């Protein structure tokens, strides 16, 4: 790289840093033990609008609670992947543990059709489907 090209590259980088951060700082996280939280129906953590972002942050904070919210993080992740495998019909390649399948059936998220697990409408909604 020639000295002239190197100088031009340095100028471009310096100009980018002068323009400010490309990441929006208009929202701030709210923790579950925050004094502002007034109802137990609200999510444990979300985003609060602090500037004019069109209300998108406030809408994100109002999302309904997940069907798997009562489980610890590892179990919720494992069950969500099981739901995804069932939806994509990958259970022959990636078998679901009998215990996980029993939990999902008891929750009404999965039903057994012709000895094959299938998502119920509630299971599809839990994955963010229709």
pLDDT at 40 > cutoff 80: no
For position 119, what pLDDT does the model report? 94
| Pairwise CA distance, residues 77 & 22, whole Å | 32
For position 5, what pLDDT does the model report? 84
Between 65 and 20, residue with greater pLDDT: 65
* Predicted confidence (pLDDT) per residue in 66-125, tens digit: 778 888 899 999 999 999 999 999 998 889 999 999 999 999 999 999 989 999 999 999
For position 71, what pLDDT does the model report? 85
Q: How many CA atoms lie within 13 A of 37 on its CB side?
A: 17
Taking a C-beta distance cutoff of 8 angstroms, is the pair 96, 85 a contact? yes
- pLDDT confidence bin for 16, thresholds 50/70/90: low
* Predicted confidence (pLDDT) per residue in 51-70, tens digit: 554 555 554 445 556 778 88
Which residues share a beta bridge with 46? 30
Q: What is the mean pLDDT of residues 23-29?
A: 54
| Pairwise CA distance, residues 42 & 14, whole Å | 43
Q: What is the mean pLDDT of residues 41-51?
A: 49
Q: Where are the beta strands (DSSP E) in the chain?
A: 27-30, 46-49, 110-113, 116-119
CA dist list (Å): 7 to 2, 12, 18, 19: 9, 9, 17, 19
For position 12, what pLDDT does the model report? 79
| Pairwise CA distance, residues 66 & 96, whole Å | 20
For position 81, what pLDDT does the model report? 93
């Amino acid at each position: 790289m020639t000295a002239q090209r190197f100088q031009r590259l340095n100028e471009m980088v310096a100009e980018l840093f002068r323009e400010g951060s490309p990441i929006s700082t208009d929202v701030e996280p709210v923790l579950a033990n925050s004094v502002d939280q007034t109802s137990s129906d609200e999510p444990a953590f979300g985003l609060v609008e602090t500037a004019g972002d069109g209300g998108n942050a406030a809408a994100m904070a109002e999302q309904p609670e997940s069907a798997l919210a009562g489980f610890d993080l590892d179990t919720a992740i494992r069950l969500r992947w099981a739901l995804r495998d069932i939806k994509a019909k990958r259970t022959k390649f990636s078998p679901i543990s009998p215990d996980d399948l029993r939990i999902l059936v008891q929750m009404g998220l999965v039903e057994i059709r012709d000895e094959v697990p299938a998502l119920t409408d509630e299971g599809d909604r839990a994955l963010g489907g229709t």
